[in-house]
Homo-oligomer: A and B are copies of this chain.
Amino acid sequence: MRGEALVHSVLEEYGMLTRRALRRYLPATEPRRYLYDLVSDYPRRSGKMMRPSLCIATARAFGARTEDALRAAVSIELFHNALLVHDDIQDESQLRRGAPSLHALHGLPLALNAGDILVMLSLRPLIEYRLELGLKVALQLIEEMERVARESGEGQALELGWRRDNVVDLSDADYFEMVFKKTCWCATIAPMRLGALIGSRDMLPEFETLIRFGFFVGTAFQIRDDVLNLIGDERFGKELADDLLEGKRTLILIHLLSNATAQEHERIAAFLASPREERIGAPLRWVVERMKHYGSIDYAQEVANGLAGAALHEFENLFDDLPDSRDKRFLAEMITWVLRRSS
């Protein structure tokens, strides 16, 4: 099996294994109605399971058994879901994976609290590694998770700060820094680092290469997300163009702001400063039209293509010495998949 079919088959398989293993970490105790029902909600909604699959595939490519990687896969998925809960509050998102967001269902205070619990629940599977892989590896995994949380939080701070202060003079480099922290650490770097740590049973020099690889793939993934948000239909289970309604500083928006005339620049800045409800309809359509006019969407997709090329190069550095396997092929195919996926 090759190409997209391989990617889907692995995502399906490792996704299902992770979902099953994850259930054990969702407490079925009281208080349910105010806490654990909320905690279980997002993890039970169906995601792509890219993060746990990257973790398991990397661990296996480095020689681990699937069952050795499952706890780390669960940990990453729980942490990712914690970020989603808090993200949705911060972005005032009303939808997540096709259903109302957690705070829309239960109110902000209880949703925020459920997100807090998800963060700490993500440590449990890692603590348990002490019995299987020893104290040292368990503690290294926890330290990795602490790093992910810090990097994600720094990236999140940049994005939220830019929006709050309506910053409109950003460069591509600013975007890359933000996405490196906010997206890549949790989406690609940490899953693969945890996997490699489990597979190799210790820190490896390849860890820095993994960061670069994860940055290239993760950023291509994020840019594709930004593109799909503009050209897709509601297949994400999110509102169309809601990035613009939320005022997210995407590479596309940054390109538009850099290429717009002074008058257009002013109008876009005013659009971004206006209340969300006032952006809907004609103002939103005008911004999207200008993005098309200046080729901002194509530009972003091209940057993503370039990043994928760089990722392929790093992939060879990382995995050339490892024997061929389905997992190794999956990791290679992921590079193309993140660029082409339509959902």
Contact = CB atoms under 8 A, between A and B. Distances in A.
Interface of A: 30-31, 33-35, 86, 89-91, 106-110, 112-114, 116-117, 119-121, 123-124, 127, 130, 135-136, 138-139, 142-143, 145-146, 149-150, 153-154, 156-158, 160-161, 163-164
A127 B153 contact: no
Given A124-B146, A142-B142, A143-B127, A116 B119 contact: yes
Contact of A112 (B33, B35, B89, B127): B89
A113 B156 contact: yes
Lowest 7 A-B CB distances belong to which pairs?
A: A34-B161, A35-B157, A135-B135, A120-B149, A90-B109, A34-B157, A117-B153
A108 to B, nearest CB: 7
B34 A158 contact: yes
Secondary structure at the A interface, as helix, strand, loop or mixed, is helix
15 contacts: A31-B158, A34-B160, A34-B161, A35-B154, A86-B113, A86-B116, A90-B113, A106-B164, A109-B164, A110-B161, A110-B164, A113-B156, A114-B153, A120-B146, A139-B139
Contacts of A149: 116-117, 119-120
A107 B90 CA distance: 10
Nearest to A91: B109
Nearest to A164: B107
B86 A153 contact: no
A163 B146 CA distance: 33
Contacts of A91: 109
B33 A161 contact: yes
- Integer count of this chain's copies in the complex: 2
A112 B112 contact: yes
B161 A31 contact: yes
Given A130-B139, A138-B139, A158-B34, A150 B110 contact: no
Contacts of A30: 154
Contacts of A120: 119, 145-146, 149-150, 153
Contacts of A86: 112-113, 116
By CB atoms of chain B within 10 A, which of A138, A153, A161 has the most?
Answer: A153
Given A35-B154, A120-B149, 16 more contacts: A31-B161, A35-B153, A35-B157, A86-B112, A90-B109, A106-B164, A113-B156, A113-B160, A116-B116, A116-B119, A116-B149, A117-B150, A123-B142, A123-B146, A135-B135, A139-B139
A179 to B, nearest CB: 14
A135 B139 contact: yes
B90 A157 contact: no
Contacts of A130: 139
